[in-house]
Homo-oligomer: A and B are copies of this chain.
Amino acid sequence: MDKAHIPDMATLVSEQYVPYWHESEEVIVIGAGFAGLAAATEAHNAGASVTVIEKMKAPGGNSIISDGGIAAAGTPMQQSAGIHDTPDLMYSDMLRAGLGLNHPALVRKVATRSTETFLWSRDYLGVPYMDRIDQFGGHSVPRCYTAENVSGSTIIRCQVAKLRELGVTMRMQTTLRRFVLDSAGAVCGVAVREGYDHKSPQSGTDRFIRATRGVVLATGGFGADVHFRTAQDPRLTQEIDSTNTPFATAEALIEALRIQAMPLHLSHIQLGPWASPDEKGFGDGPRFADYIVFQYGVVVSPTTSARFVNELADRKTVADAILEVGRPCIGIADSKAVEQSGWSIDRGIEKGVVKVFNHLSELASHYGLDDTALASTMERFNGHIEGKIDTEFDKPILTEARPLIHPPFFGMRLWPKVHHTMGGVQINARGQVIDLEGYPIGRLYAAGEATGGIHGACRLGSCAITECLVFGRIAGRNAATERP
């Protein structure tokens, strides 16, 4: 096709500018992470022809580098382990962390469908999960299941294999340029660029793909988009690292806003409190901090050598507390805590992110802490463990927790990194994108981090994968059952 025939993308929104459709599908899914791949699977299984477009060279997006933890309330595994949990409890945990900004109907859907969706991922997709249930900050009970290899890539691999088995096309290096609207204002297709290469964004060829049933936006968050995120929160300059891939950017979200999607909660940007300033990106430190320090150990201020927060509070609370201290804080655990956790922290130690000390005084000296103040902090905390109640910061004391008196001791510096963007486009409980005036945009669905409203001001750890799969499936099925 002659490129000159394609109108300027800056003005293209209406179908009247589309010279012709290069091809036609029933459902187009944009983005090949957890949400997009779940949407494609359901859309196919609902009988629609589906194509997935993905800007990168391989599927997985930012999902592939997540830690693969998924929350579900009321599972058979919880029952076997004697953990009493319900969707109601998960719902109220999410609302409390979200400071009430969450859209209740969406949270209800995520919580209610969490167990069925988790079992679908295990039994239908074949995702192998580790034989453990963890409790992350802000959750009232252990309800977090972790994919093998502690990696989202385990889930993505199973999702991709399933789509291949079903015969669904996934086109890599294909990026969204514009949504195209018909004369009634409904989405009737997309302009894409094929052969896209992030190293030379002008490369590739523009094409128009018609969608006769629906389009699902599942393009993730904008945590790595310094321009967009600093508009929303000027503190999050390029000086603040991110756990995301560098490709977690806002261009698809911007396209949705261009066609009048209602923006929600864009300034609520989550910082991961378990990140290390001594490595780039997500790294290996969070394993130690999130699964061991926050659960069994302590975080102390470099100024006072004392605790200052409930280490098992939600991410916003802990990250804000560390930022308020103003310098990297020190996470501390002992060998018994590592053993209790069942996790290996070898990679963190090899990288030098997690340090090993035979005595607490060595640890104090290494991190510039006050030896006596630290000893007193540890003594008080060990008292809380023995008393089974944290009278200082109200941290839940886990049943298997033991006083931190077993050398070697482990330490890690903590400084937050941009991790998740709670904001995005508004959807309703059917996964339809809502416009500025409160009406669904015809034939446009969305799921995952591209949407806002589910997590409110603060997402709880392990709720994102649940959300992506629950709403990916809802969006895919509903897009597939639109009348052509």
Mark A residues whose CB is within 8 Å of B: 10-11, 14, 100-104, 185, 227, 231-235, 254, 257-258, 260, 262-268, 426, 434, 436-438
Contact = CB atoms under 8 A, between A and B. Distances in A.
B267 A264 contact: yes
29 contacts: A10-B185, A11-B14, A11-B185, A100-B233, A100-B234, A100-B235, A101-B232, A101-B233, A101-B234, A101-B235, A101-B267, A104-B234, A227-B438, A231-B262, A231-B264, A231-B438, A232-B264, A232-B265, A254-B436, A257-B257, A257-B260, A257-B263, A258-B436, A263-B263, A263-B266, A264-B266, A264-B267, A266-B266, A267-B267
A117 to B, nearest CB: 23
Nearest to A262: B231
A266 B258 CA distance: 17
Given A267-B267, A267-B268, A254 B437 contact: yes
A11 B262 CA distance: 17
A149 to B, nearest CB: 37
A437 B278 CA distance: 32
Contacts of A260: 257-258
A110 to B, nearest CB: 15
Nearest to A235: B100
A182 to B, nearest CB: 11
5 A-B pairs closest in CB distance: A254-B436, A263-B263, A100-B235, A265-B267, A227-B438
Contacts of A262: 231
Nearest to A434: B231
A24 B427 CA distance: 41
Contact of A234 (B102, B233, B436): B102
A231 B426 contact: yes
A59 B336 CA distance: 71
Given A232-B264, A258-B260, 15 more contacts: A11-B14, A100-B234, A100-B235, A101-B232, A101-B234, A101-B235, A103-B234, A231-B426, A232-B265, A257-B257, A257-B260, A257-B436, A264-B266, A266-B266, A267-B268
A202 to B, nearest CB: 16
A263 B437 CA distance: 15
A431 to B, nearest CB: 16
A261 to B, nearest CB: 10
A403 to B, nearest CB: 34
Nearest to A107: B234
Contacts of A268: 267
Which of A14, A104, A263, A264 has most chain B Cβ within 10 Å?
A263
Contacts of A10: 185
A439 to B, nearest CB: 11
A104 B234 CA distance: 8
A244 to B, nearest CB: 20
A81 to B, nearest CB: 34
A238 to B, nearest CB: 14
A253 to B, nearest CB: 9
Nearest to A323: B100
Contacts of A437: 254
A260 to B, nearest CB: 6
Nearest to A266: B263
A225 to B, nearest CB: 11
Which of the listed residues A234, A235, A254 has the most CB atoms from chain B within 10 Å of its own CB? Answer: A234
A437 B426 CA distance: 20
Contacts of A254: 436-437
Nearest to A185: B10
Which of A100, A258, A260, A267 has most B Cβ within 10 Å? Answer: A267
Contacts of A11: 14, 185
A361 to B, nearest CB: 35
A479 to B, nearest CB: 22
Contacts of A102: 234
A394 B360 CA distance: 36
Contacts of A434: 231
Nearest to A103: B234
A5 B170 CA distance: 47
Nearest to A253: B436
Contacts of A235: 100-101
